[in-house]
Structures are given as C-alpha cells and as structure tokens.
Structure 1
Amino acid sequence: MVLKDKKTKITFHSGMMTIGGTVIEVAYEDAHIFFDFGTEFKPELNLKNESLEELLEYRLVPHLEGMYDQNFGYVYPNESTGTYNHTAVFVSHCHLDHTRMLNYLDQSIPLYALKETKVLVESLNAKNDFLLPNAHLKDTYTRDIIGCENHEVIQVGDIKVELSRVDHDAYGACGLLIQTPDLKIAYTGDLRLHGFDVEDSLNFCEQARDTDVLIIEGVSISFPEDPSRNLNRINSEQDLLNRILDIVDTNPDKQITFNCYPGNVKRIAEIVKSSPREVVLEASFAYILKECLDMNCKYYIHDFKSDKLDPKLEVNYQDLIADEGRYLWQAVSNFENLKGGGIYIHSDATPLGEFDPAYLPFIELLKSHNVEFVRIACSGHAFPEDLNKIVNLIQPKLLVPIHSLRPDLLENEHGERLLPERGQVI
C-alpha cells in the first residue's frame, strides 16, 4: 500500500458508507488537520435538542480528542492519540453536511475555507438557524472562519494545505491538496463537471495528478438500482437554465415564482442575467450575490435587511403578490399568498425531496392553492461517468471513495483502492 513505511496517518472518523458527515484527519508528527466538520443528516430521528451528547449517542458525529468546545465539558472516551502542537480544520463548502458542527469546534482552533464559503456560511446563519447554535458565542452566531483566496496555501506544522476551487452547486466550494513530508493527498470535497465553473474542477484534477491518495466523494453512484434517477436527467446547469427560461417564455400571463438553494450563487446569478422578466430576489439572496459577485439585484424584504443593498432596487412585496407577467420572483415563504393559476419552480430549494418529511406537505399546500409545482433540479455532484473521468485524470496510487452509499462501485485502474471503515487509521 502507498502508506507503507510512511509517518503520515489518515484517520477516517466519519462519512463512510453514508452521504454526509465527512470528518477525516491527516496527521504528521506533532501536526494534524481535519476536513470537514458537518453532521450526518437523519431527520427521521427527530432528536430533541441536538446537543453534542445526543449527536454522539446517535453517531451523527464522531468522538474527537481535543476538538470540541471545552464549554461543553466533553470527555474523550478512548485512549489518547497523542499531543499535537499544530491543529487546524478546513471546510470544503457551505452545505450543512460539511459545516453544521462548526460552532461546536473549540474556539482556539483555526478554521479555514475559501472566502466565498465564509460569506455564505455567515449569511446563511445570520438568524442562528443554519449551524448548530453555540450559546457561548456572544458577539456573533457563527464562530470565526478564516477566509482564504483560491490556491492559498496554509502551513500547519509540517503539513501544507492548498485550497483549490472546484465546481459544485455551492459557490466557493474547494478541494484540498495536502502535502506532508512523505505523502501527497487530494480531497475532492463535493464536485462535478457539468456546472458553470467546470474549468475549476478540471484544474483541481490537473493539480492532483499522480497523487498518492485521492479521497473522492461518490454521491451519484449511491443509487445504481434506481434507473428512474436517469430519466429526464438535466445534464448541465445551462440545460436547467434553459428549462426555466422556456417556462417563462411560454407563460407570459401567469405569475411565475421560483426558489433555489442560497449557496447556488451562480445559478441564481444566471437566472437574473438571462430572464426576459425582471427577477426579484428575497433580500438575503440579493445580499449574497452582492457579497460574492458584487452583483446588484432587485429584491424584496422578507425578514432580512442590509445597508449594503441599494434601496432604489427594492420592490414592494404586495406588488409581487399581485403580479402576473412583469416579474420572475423568488418565493421563500408564505406560499399560500401565491396567485391561483400561477407556476412555482422548485430548483434544489428546501424541502429538498421525498426524504424530507416537509416535502409532500409542501407540494400539497401549493396544490390546494391551485399553484402548479414544477421541479427543475440539477445535481451538484459528478455523474457516475464523470467520477470515472476524474479518477482517470488524477490517476491516484490509492483511491479512497467516501461520501457514498456504494463506494465499492468506483474503481481505480491506476493503482489500489481502499474502502475504509468508520474510525479506521491507515
């Protein structure tokens, strides 16, 4: 195996045989880093308070020595793994399964992400309802995140980490290029080859070429027994945009609303730029586009205000409710106010799908108000054929597929493959 006779250790704390909750540690002598810091998503558990103790009990987060905020009184139940003088955590992107635990991280440990991810996490958590809350944070709802430039290199003891942008449905997503004195490791985070920033993913693959260890997400290979997932598959973000614009073009006299995931900045920006109708965003989304892309958009006030938004661009909510042809506007709540006979476009917004208990009641609400529900979604994850392409571009000596229900379906014709178990150290 590639790691034979190496000092570098990789520990797979969580995120194996599941989608989400990835926590992996890379250690070299007195330094170690972690990526990411989210939780597994299991809404069916209906947990009471999602305290650290409860999350640990249900194995939604792993036991980690010296990583959790000391105010929780957490005691590591296992034998000590050693003393480290250098520690850091890196976050690949803003999605909850990679970030939800950030406020439970010890405040003294530096946390790094691309600057756009920092903006998105802080914006999404502006009302203290995105990340798990930490009552010990007094001045802000989100613990400190160090925003990095694309390709910035962070030194943690003898470990070097480069943050390299990739294409995903969360803007600011990155992979990590990790170099220890005796090993080169690449972690993809979540990525794809069919968005508006494909070149970022391809550039990451070029940088990672011939890496010793490639740790790669495998979400799209999780459902091989379900051919319906490939029926009417939207193959690119451009294809998705075209379908939305077609609905707008062919329904000139109907109220048309939409919603997207707020982290999908590029999709929202392209809708704004391409729509034949004037696009009006909810104010928090307009703020995100301003912060990430310096883009000024029309907006309406729901429950978010910012002095960074131009007051001349504000549109009255009642004008939107009454509209049947001028605007394509974003509905984020109060769906019972939408006009009967109108169309609502659900484009990877919450609730995300049938696995969410809120999804079917949401559809029924729209139906009861005679609003047509149209779902137009595009995966944020590489299609199975593109996962193979990524592996072949990088040609790793050791392939480690994670973040998947069926990691065994991803092969490595260029070297070995490891399917790690939770807690395994190599």
Structure 2
Amino acid sequence: MMLKDKKTKITFHCGVLTIGGTIIEVAYEDSHIFFDFGSEYNPAAKVQPTDLQGLLDENLVPYLNNIFDPKIHLIGYESKENTFKNTAVFLSHIHLDHSKIVNYLNPEIPLYTLEGTKSLLNTLNINNDFIFPLYEKQDSNTREVVGVKENEVVEVGKIKVKVMPVDHDAYGASGLVIETPDLTIAYTGDIRLHGYRENDTLNFCKESENCDVLLIEGVSVSFQEFGDPIRETEAVNEPELIEKINEVVNNNPNKQITFNYYISNVERILNIIKNNPRTVVLDAYYSYVVKEASGIETYYYQLDDKEYGLDENLRVDFKELLNDESKYFWQLDKLALKHINKLKSNGIYIHTDAQPLGEFDPAYEPFVKQFSDYNIQFILLPCSGHARPYDLIKIINLIKPKLLVPIHSYRPEKLYNENGDVLLPKKGQTI
C-alpha cells in the first residue's frame, strides 16, 4: 500500500462492522484528534447501560487512554501516562450514535462542532435526558462545546481540521477534512445527496478531491443492493416527501391527521410547516427546539410542565386537537401518544423517520399495532438521511481517494474504489 511510510496513524476504536458508535483517532507525533463520540445503538440488546461503566463492560464503547472524565470512578480501567500534548474531539452531528457520550469526555479536552450542532445539542438536552448525563451536576446539563463556523479550520498541534457542512437529516451536520504534515484524510460523517443541502455535500467532495484516505459511511449498503428500486413508501428526496405528506392531507379533508418526525431534522419540519395545507402544531419541546435552531416560532400544544419560553398566543389547546378533523396537522409525540384512545376513529397517522425507526427495534411492531387497534391508518413515509448505494459510489468517484475505508456499515465490503485501494479495518486496528 502506497501510504505505508507515513507517520500519521489512524486507529479505528469503534464504528467498524456496525452502524453507530464511530470513534476514530488520527495521531501525528504529539497531537491527536478523535471523531465522533457516540455509542453503539442496539435497541434489541438485553442490557441497555445507563453509565460509562456499563457501556465499557458491554463493549459498546472502547476505553480510551486519558480521554474520559478522570472524576468518573471506573472499575477495571486505568489510563497510562499521557504522551500527547495536543488533544481534541470533533462531533460531526447530533444523532445519538455519534454524540451520546460527550458528557463523559474529559472536560479539559476541547470538543468542536459546527455552531448549528452546538446549539442543537444544548437545546435538545435542556431536560437532561438526550445524551448521557454529566458525572457531576453543573449549571448546564451539557459539557462545554466549541462552536465553529462552516468551513472553519481548527488547528490541534500539527493537525488541521476543516469542518464542512454536508447534507444529512440532522441540522448542523458536517464532514471533516483533516491534514497532517504527511497525509490528507476526509471523513464524511453521515452524508447524502438527496436532501436540502446537496451542494454542501458536493463542496465537501471537491475539497476532499484526491485525498489520501477517505473514511465514508455505508449505512445504505447494509440493507440494499446496487440497483434496488427505492421503496414504494420512500420519497426520492426531501421535497418529494413534502409532496407525499400534502397528498395525504389533501385527499382526506375530513379526517384527523397526526404525524411524528425525528427531532433533529429541523429543515424537514420547517418545510412541512411552510407547505402543509393545514395548520401544523408541534409538541412544546419540539417547538422549543425549532425556535432555538431557526428563530422561527410555531404553533404548539403542551402536556408537560417545563418552561420553554414559547409564545402563549401560539398555544393550541390539546382538547381542540383531539376533537379536530380538518384544521390541524399535529404532532403525536410520546406524551400525546398516551392519549391514543382519545383520537378520532378512522383518522390517519404519518410516521416520517421518527422513533421507533424500524423493524430492527422490538418496540416498532407494537407501536404500529396500537394504531390499528384504535382504527387509525398508519402511513410510513420515510426519506433516508443516508446516501443511497449508487450515490455513495458517486461521492467516492468525485473524491477519488488513494485509499477508501468504508465504516459505519454492516456490509462495508460492498463499497468499491475505482481510483485506488480499499481497506476494511478491524475494530481496534491502527494503520
């Protein structure tokens, strides 16, 4: 392999042969960086750890020398002497499989991410239940995060990292272009070409062109073959998803219609609000997140007792929503779902990439069944946050890396590199 004489080291601590939990280290002499800082997600696992000790014991996160908060007392794990002068962690986006353990990070180590992701992380964790909590309670529920502007370059000793926006279904998502004195590495984070930020992905590809190493996610090839048609229910792109939702609404003028979506997909909900024939009403927590991320206030209802600072003039009484069959298109989040027995019979519910995400989650089947139990039509309308198989190849061909390293996938071997080599790393491997 033509890169074997380089001083730069890349270690694949986690995120290999799985989806989620990506933790990769790039080191050059006395400087090193990590990305991302989430944990593997398996809703079907019998044990669901709630702290760092459990995550380590269940092998859902790796033990990293001198990286975790030293105040956390761990049994069976101990750091060795720190030989690095410069350390930093980068967060590509907000999704929990990339961000859930950031509060376990040593507070002395800077954590960088785009300003949009920083804002969303603090907002989503307002109730201290989005990411794993800090070991010791502080004024804020979330550790300090350094927000960087789009395309800003951060220097960590001899390593330079350009944080670039990319198209994904999480607000503030980014890829990284990493330069050491002898290597250029591109990391896609989670990426696609069929959302509202396609040009951002193309700009990332251009900046990464002819890089030495490309680390690319491969979620879609875990489940699809090249040439597989898009599922009948799935939208080709985000604008078509809006059209499909509006078609359901327009074709059912006298039915109660509810929906749910993933909370970090701010751009999707803003476009739903902008284009839907009905008045869109969100759960108060979701309305707060939209307001903090975009500055836009939305109609909302509230079932919890939290103070979100929302405009009382935009509040809709929950009983009015329960009785409505024509005016509102409203969000049925988990609190409202407890009142499913009060929904109108013969109504419609639209599930658009909300949790539970699919059949791999044991909660999905009973979730779907409860709608039929109450004579409510369940409509699945997804639009993936991940590049489809041929789009992954398009991204690879645009970048033309010397070495392709597929990660974040159950079937990474399906991706190929027409311009160079391919490496399928093992967990814990250093190259």
State if a TM-score over 0.5 links the two structures: yes
Q: Secondary structure at the match of 2:179?
A: strand
Cα separation, partners in 2 of 1:16 and 1:298, compared to 1, 3 Å: same
Q: Quote the offset at 1:303 in angstroms.
A: 2.3
In terms of mean alpha carbon deviation, does 354-363 or 377-386 score higher?
Answer: 354-363
Q: 2:113 is paired with a residue of what secondary structure?
A: strand
| Structure 1: gaps spanning 5 or more residues | none
1:416–1:227: structure 2 CA closer, same or farther, 3 Å change rule? closer
How far apart, in 2, do the equivalents of 1:392 and 1:87 lie?
A: 32
Q: What is the Cα deviation at residue 331 of structure 1? A: 1.1
Instruction: Specify whether residues 142 and 421 from structure 1 end up closer, same or farther in structure 2 by C-alpha distance, changes over 3 A only.
Output: same
Q: Shift in Å at residue 229 of structure 1?
A: 7.8
Residues 40-67 of structure 1 deviation map (CA, whole Å, 9 limit, x = unaligned): 1122223264332221122110121001
SS of the residue aligned with 1:321? helix
2 CA distance for matches of 1:14 and 1:76?
Answer: 19
Letter paired with 1:107: P
Distance 1:139 1:78, change over 3 A: closer
Query: What is residue 182 of structure 1 aligned with on the other side?
Result: 182
Q: CA RMSD in A?
A: 1.9
- Name the structure 2 match of 1:14: 14
Determine if the alignment matches structure 1 residue 353 to structure 2 residue 358: yes
1:123: Cα distance to partner? 2.2
Say if 1:76 and 1:107 are closer, same or farther in 2 by CA, change over 3 A.
farther
The equivalences for 1:101-250 within 5 A come to: 101-224=101-224, 230-232=230-232, 233-250=234-251
Shift of 1:73: 2.6
How far the C-alpha of 1:68 sits from its partner, in A, is 0.9
Corresponding residue for residue 401 of structure 1: 406
Contact residue 114 and residue 147 of structure 1 kept, 8 A: yes
Q: CA deviation at 1:226?
A: 11
Q: What SS class does the counterpart of residue 71 from structure 2 fall into?
A: helix
After superposition, what is the alpha-carbon deviation per residue over 1:123-149, rounded to whole angstroms, capped at 9, x for unaligned?
222222221123313222211111111
The 3 A distance-change label for structure 1 pair 347 and 278 is same
Task: Specify the alignment match of 1:286 in structure 2.
Answer: 287
| % identity of equivalent residues | 52
- Opposite residue 253 of structure 2, the aligned amino acid is P
Counterpart of 1:72 in 2: which secondary structure? coil
Partner Cα distance (1:345, 1:224) in 2: 24
| Alignment partners' CA distance in 2, 1:126 and 1:78 | 32
Check conservation: 2:163, 2:176, Cα contact below 8 A: yes
Question: Counterpart in 1 of 2:315?
Answer: 314
Query: Residues 404 and 126 of structure 1: is their aligned pair in 2 closer, same or farther, counting only changes over 3 Å?
Result: same
Letter in 2 for 1:138: Q
For 1:359 and 1:373, the matched residues in 2 are separated by 12
Using the TM superposition, name which of 223-232 and 347-356 deviates more: 223-232
TM-score of the superposition, structure 1-length normalised?
0.95
Give me the whole-angstrom Cα distance separating, in 2, the residues matched to 1:283 and 1:2: 55
**Which consecutive residues of structure 2, in runs of 5 or more, have no partner in the other structure?**
none
Structure 1 residue 81, shift from structure 2 partner: 8.1
CA distance in 2, matches of 1:165, 1:414: 25
Secondary structure of 1:155's partner?
strand
Q: Does 1:390 align with 2:395?
A: yes
Partner residue, 1:65: 65
**What is the identity, as a one-letter code, of the residue corresponding to 1:319?**
E
Deviations 1:225-247 (A, max 9, x none): 79988431421111111110000
Matched, 1:91 2:91: yes
Q: Compared with structure 1, are the counterparts of its residues 24 and 339 closer, same or farther at alpha carbon in structure 2 (3 Å cutoff)?
A: same
Structure 2 letter corresponding to 1:410:
L
1:83 deviates by 0.6
Residues 200 and 304 (structure 1 numbering): CA distance in 2 closer, same or farther, change over 3 Å?
A: farther
What do residues 156-193 of structure 1 show as CA deviations (whole Å, max 9, x unaligned)? 11111111000101111000011111111100000000
Q: What is the match of residue 421 of structure 1?
A: 426
> Deviation string for 1:303-360 (max 9, x for gaps)?
2655543222111111111111001111103321322111110101111111112111
In structure 2, distance between residues paired with 1:378 and 1:168: 11
Partner deviation per Cα, 1:53-98 (whole Å, 9 max, x = no partner): 2211221101210011112234785995851111110010011110
